[in-house]
Every structure is written in structure tokens, then in C-alpha cells.
Structure 1
Amino acid sequence: MHPIVFDTVEVPVADRPAAWVETMALAEVTQRVKFLETARFNARMELMPLGVGQLSTLSYASLVAQRTPKLVRQSDPEMYHVAVATGGEIGIDQHRQSSLLRQGDMGFFDSSRPFDTQAGEAPGHALLFQFPKGLLRVPHERFTALCGLSRPWTHGVGRMFGQFLVELSEQYPHCTPHQAAGLGATAVDLLMAVLTQEDDAPGGREPSQQATFVKMSAFVTEHLADPHLGPEMLAAAHHISLRYLHRVFQHNGTTPRTFIREQRMGRCRRDLADPALRHLTINAIAGRWGYPHPAAFARSFRSATGMSATEYRTLHAAPAAQDT
């Protein structure tokens, strides 16, 4: 697979700002952009679809991009974004938290809330990983608490995550669509480990309880295909009471049934958007993730996404750069 490349050097100087705004809207989210050096503006983006997610390499300078409340209301793909800085400086601002990303830092965004990004005269370089919120097996609040902040990706699990994205961007041309989708899922799993590491830091949640949640999260992932998966099965497998089970999930901002439903729905969305799985029927995909009854799946899918599974699959048959 080859990345989809947009480079302003291929566009007339006068048309570069408008072309960049349009490309950003298609590849990421709609933003209002102010160009500080219009006459000398240059930018480059490489888009690498990963099933329902996407990895992009970005290089740009002399601009301020704003995702305003109005733009959020007009269109929200409900995606999480993680920027891994590889050079220069990029400023980020969300949830009244601000950071300056330099090489070795990573920053976090939520498409459903307003945010600002800035780059000065020196080009900022970054890898941007974006994916549907439902694929991340941690509570929404865990991710949004980091929005606008920076964290290093130079050591520990963060290094594994950042280096994985770097290697993925370099080896992407050698991947098949099915492999790319699987690698996107791996990136989400590594990010979950990064967020769990946040909890293990001083001031984080009580370690034994968090360890229990991580174990149960892994158990859920391994048993999503089992239609009997539920709170009772989880509690029995981990030799804990239902009361303690609910307490653990409550401390992580969710409930066992909600967590299981979100993980199942995330896998269904991923498979429905995977071009390598077009040969599978919608009912077959639903069945492989614990939905044996088509009517129940249809209701759940529409409730979660606002559209039918058929409409979702048709929508994601278009080029991935248009999905967001």
C-alpha cells in the first residue's frame, strides 16, 4: 500500500492555503486556519489508512489552526488523536490545557471538543494517529484528562508506542490492507498500555484495583465472540464478587455491560470498514463479535452509530481520507 501524499509544492502559491485547509478537513477534522506567512507557506502530509483508523505524517509551519465550537457542532467524526512529535515545535491547546510539543513528546486531542494547534516559522513535524473512540478500551475521561498536555515517548511504554508509529510509517508501503488494519489495532493496544502507565504513576488509581481492571479488559477482548460474556462471567473468571466488579469499572468511569458493548461495537465497526473483509456478510461479522441475533445487532448498531450497518459499510467503502 502506498500513502496518499499531499504536498503544497505541487500547488500554485496562491492556492496553497485553501488547498491545505481542504486537505486537513478531509484527512482529519474541519478547522479554521490562519496563515502567518501566506506567500511562503509550505506543508506536506502523507495519509496511511489503517482500517477504521489512520496514521499521518505532517510537516507545516507558520499557521494557527482552530477547531471551533461551531465546527464541532457541524461535524464530529468522534475520533481520538495522538500526535507524536518528530521535529520542530507544535503548540497544542484543549480543555484549558496547553503544551509545546518538541521532538520526543506526544500530545492528545479529542475531535468532539474545540482545540487549537500552532506552528511558528520553523516547520513542525509529527506523526498523527487517529481512530474511533470506541476502539480504546479505557473510559473516555482517562483520555480527555490528557487533552492539551504532552507526555514523553522516549522511554518505557511510551517509547514502544512512539517507535511503533515511526516504524509503521516507514514500512507502510510493504503492508497489505488487512495487515494495515491489524497494525492499527496494535497501535490502539499500545496506546492503552500508555494510558494505563499514567495510572501507575504517583497519584494514579490504587494499583491492585487498576491491575484487576487491566486483566478484565484483556479477558473481555479475548472473549468478545462469546454471546454469554457479561458481568457474571467476568466476576466468576476473576474470582471476585459482582459488587466488587462493578466498583472496579465504576472507578474507571464505566460499567461492565457498557464496556463490553463498546468493545464489541468497536470491533464490528473496524471489520465493516476493512476492505479485506468485504466477502463476509454483516451478520457474519456481528456473529464473530458476540451478536448471534441479527435484529438485536441491528438495533444496537444504529443506537451506537446513528446509521445501519449497511450504511456504515457503504460509507467506509470510500477512500479513508474522506472518512473523517
Structure 2
Amino acid sequence: MLDFDTRELELKYRHDYWQDAISQTFVPLSCTVESSMNFSGALKCKSWSDWGIVDVSGSAQHVQRKHSIIKKDDHDSILMSLILAGKMGLAQDGRETLLDVGQFGFYDTHRPYDLHLLGNFRQMVLMLPRKLFEKRYGKIEFLTAHSFGEHHPLQKLNCDFLQNLYLLSSDIHKELQDSILCQYMDLLSSILSESKLNNRNNSSLLLQIKNMVLKNINHPDINIHDIACHFKITSRYISKLFQQEETTFGRFLLESRLEHSHRALESHINQQSIKEIAYQAGFQDMSYFSREFKKCYGSTPKQFRTMPKVVLRN
């Protein structure tokens, strides 16, 4: 766990220390403070599976991710800030939003952004792998610098879930970590799919379509025509939505089925047969399932299940 706190230092050393702390924890950043006379900042970072979770607090400051820094840095992740105290202005991709307590927003480390921390603050920050994020929620450029969660019935659950997730011991096996994080992604997805993004209704609709697919992954007959009928749109329109992400409905459905079966086969406690696992992921043809699983993961389901599983400890 990374742990930084400027209050342990003399005032004259705090700014430089903090700049190094946030750059080491997140990505290289530029930070200016409102007042060096009473500035403070503290953060603690935990690693969960492929994610990072940071509890960060401090006084007023302006944080920037600049073009000049990005050119020299190859970090490429998605960050999400959930405000627990104070307010934060977020600017990226020509948009600006103000995040208040209980709200969250996304920003992309691969492009410039500005964070204006207005007075004393506390927030939880998630560091997410781009591939995982965009597979579930779509292209990040459609979601940056928007505010989510305001007045949503799941707002409090979201805040409590993330804080309790941070408090959980990291000393648990990767299988359980992945399972819990998958549940949190489902929670975020429920909030995002009901949001009203200005001029981005397609993004919200695609999230709803993906949610429906994932909730019905065990049904072998789920198809683009039934989904289109449910949302009262055409199959062709759904195809166009997936084309925006350089994939197809069929590819997304297959990959989702494979991921579902992969998690089940990886589980130490799942005693179901491979055939039962395949059926629960919506596969009916075992030969097809085995062939596609091997293409994706490099081994057959049977081979994968007999491989020794690594237990990660931080």
C-alpha cells in the first residue's frame, strides 16, 4: 500500500512532496496550491486485482495532466473520482462539470485534463484498465467530464460500496477480488445506463443494451432481434451502435459468454461440471464452446481448470 501525508513535513517541503506523491500514485501531474501556508494532502492507495483504489484528501489545489507530460509518459488508464467531501471541477475534451458530494466523474489519462479542488476535499479515486472499462462502458471520450449519480436512488449504495471495498483486506485471492469488482462494475453500469448525457443518448442506449445482454447471458436464444424489439429500435441501429466501438453485437455476446464461463472455471469453490458451466453461460454446443474458449484463453476449458491457480497477496 502506498501511503503519503504532507502533515508529517514542514510547510516548505509539502508542495514538492505532494506533487511527487500524486504523480507516483496516479500518473505524472502538475499541481499548484491555493496557499502554501496551510496546504496539506494525504492519500492511501490499495491494489485490487488490476484496479487501484485511492483514498485522497487535502486542501484547495489545481491539478493538471498536460500535453507536455503525456508525450513523455506511457500511462494509459481511466480514472474515476467519487466525491465524499468538498467539490471538484473537472475539465476534459472541451467539457467542464462540477462534482459535488456523492457524484462521480471519469477522466482519461491519455489526454489532457484539469482538476480544480475547491477548498478542503476528500474523494475515492478508482484507477481502471482501459480495455476493461471500454469493453463494459464504451469509448471513454463519450463519458469524460460528465457528472453521474446526482439524485440517483443508488447514489448512497455507490458511496458505501466503494468505501467498504477500500476497507476490505487486500489479502484475499484474486478470484474473490474479481468477483467483487465485477459486482461494482454492475452497480456503476446501472447508474450510467440511466444517465442523460447531452448529445450522447447513443452511449446511454448502448449501455442499456449491454446490461440486458449480461443479465440474460444464460439464455442461449438471446439475439439482436429480441433486443431490438425490447428497445423498440431496429437491429441495424444496434449494429451501428456496436460499430462505433469497432465490434459487433455477436462478438460482444460471445466474449461476454466466454468471460462468464472463464470466471466460473477459475473459481476454487465452483464444483459444477464444465458442461453445466457452459450451459449457464448460454452455450449449447460443447465443441463450439471448447474451440472458442481455446481461441480466447489459449487452452481448452478442461486444461484451464486443471492449471494451478495463483493466489495474489499484496
TM-score > 0.5 by shorter chain? yes
Secondary structure at the aligned position of 1:85 is classed as strand
Alignment of 1:37-186 (within 5 A): 37-120=35-118, 122-136=119-133, 137-138=135-136, 140-141=138-139, 143-169=140-166, 171-173=167-169, 176-178=172-174, 179-186=176-183
Offset, 1:187: 1.8
Residue identity matched to 1:140: G
Check whether the contact 2:148–2:195 (CA below 8 A) recurs between aligned residues. Answer: no
Alignment partner for residue 213 of structure 2, among 185, 209, 216?
Answer: 216
Residue identity matched to 1:172: L
State the partner residue of 2:3.
Answer: 5
Check whether the contact 2:173–2:313 (CA below 8 A) recurs between aligned residues. Answer: no
Check whether the contact 2:152–2:191 (CA below 8 A) recurs between aligned residues. Answer: no
Structure (1 or 2) with the larger CA radius of gyration? 2
Offset, 1:206: 11
In 1, the alpha carbon distance for the partners of 2:130 and 2:22 equals 20
More helix by share: 1
Offset, 1:130: 2.1
- The verdict on how the C-alpha distance between 1:37 and 1:265 changes in structure 2, with shifts beyond 3 A counting, is farther
In 2, the alpha carbon distance for the partners of 1:248 and 1:140 equals 14
State the partner residue of 2:223.
Answer: 235
- The verdict on how the C-alpha distance between 1:85 and 1:140 changes in structure 2, with shifts beyond 3 A counting, is same
Check whether the contact 2:170–2:313 (CA below 8 A) recurs between aligned residues. Answer: no
Consecutive unaligned residues in structure 2, runs of 5 or more:
269-288, 300-311
- Note the alpha carbon deviations across 1:218-248, whole angstroms, 9 max, x for none: 456x69xxxxx9xxx863895889xx65641
State the partner residue of 2:294.
Answer: 292
Offset, 1:297: 5.1
Aligned length: 272
CA RMSD of aligned residues (A): 4.4
State the partner residue of 1:322.
Answer: none
TM-score, normalising length from structure 1? Answer: 0.66
- Note the alpha carbon deviations across 1:118-166, whole angstroms, 9 max, x for none: 224x31111112211222344534x433322223355323443233112
In 2, the alpha carbon distance for the partners of 1:202 and 1:134 equals 24
Alignment partner for residue 249 of structure 2, among 239, 251, 256?
Answer: 256
Secondary structure at the aligned position of 1:6 is classed as strand
Offset, 1:212: 4.5
Alignment partner for residue 193 of structure 2, among 193, 196, 200?
Answer: 196
Offset, 1:257: 5.6
Q: Which structure exhibits the higher relative contact order, with contacts defined as CA atoms closer than 8 Å and separated by 6 or more residues?
A: 1
- The verdict on how the C-alpha distance between 1:177 and 1:19 changes in structure 2, with shifts beyond 3 A counting, is farther
Secondary structure at the aligned position of 1:164 is classed as helix
Check whether the contact 2:56–2:123 (CA below 8 A) recurs between aligned residues. Answer: yes
Secondary structure at the aligned position of 1:189 is classed as helix
Residue identity matched to 2:241: H
Check whether the contact 2:193–2:205 (CA below 8 A) recurs between aligned residues. Answer: no
- The verdict on how the C-alpha distance between 1:155 and 1:139 changes in structure 2, with shifts beyond 3 A counting, is closer
- The verdict on how the C-alpha distance between 1:74 and 1:259 changes in structure 2, with shifts beyond 3 A counting, is farther
Check whether the contact 1:134–1:265 (CA below 8 A) recurs between aligned residues. Answer: no
TM-score, normalising length from structure 2? Answer: 0.68
In 2, the alpha carbon distance for the partners of 1:129 and 1:289 equals 35
Check whether the contact 1:264–1:289 (CA below 8 A) recurs between aligned residues. Answer: no
Residue identity matched to 1:157: L
In 1, the alpha carbon distance for the partners of 2:94 and 2:206 equals 30
% identical aligned pairs: 16
- The verdict on how the C-alpha distance between 1:110 and 1:219 changes in structure 2, with shifts beyond 3 A counting, is farther
State the partner residue of 2:16.
Answer: 18
Check whether the contact 1:109–1:148 (CA below 8 A) recurs between aligned residues. Answer: yes
Q: Which moved more, 1:203-212 or 1:83-92?
A: 203-212
State the partner residue of 2:34.
Answer: 36
Check whether the contact 2:258–2:293 (CA below 8 A) recurs between aligned residues. Answer: no
Q: Which moved more, 1:33-42 or 1:246-255?
A: 246-255
In 2, the alpha carbon distance for the partners of 1:55 and 1:29 equals 14
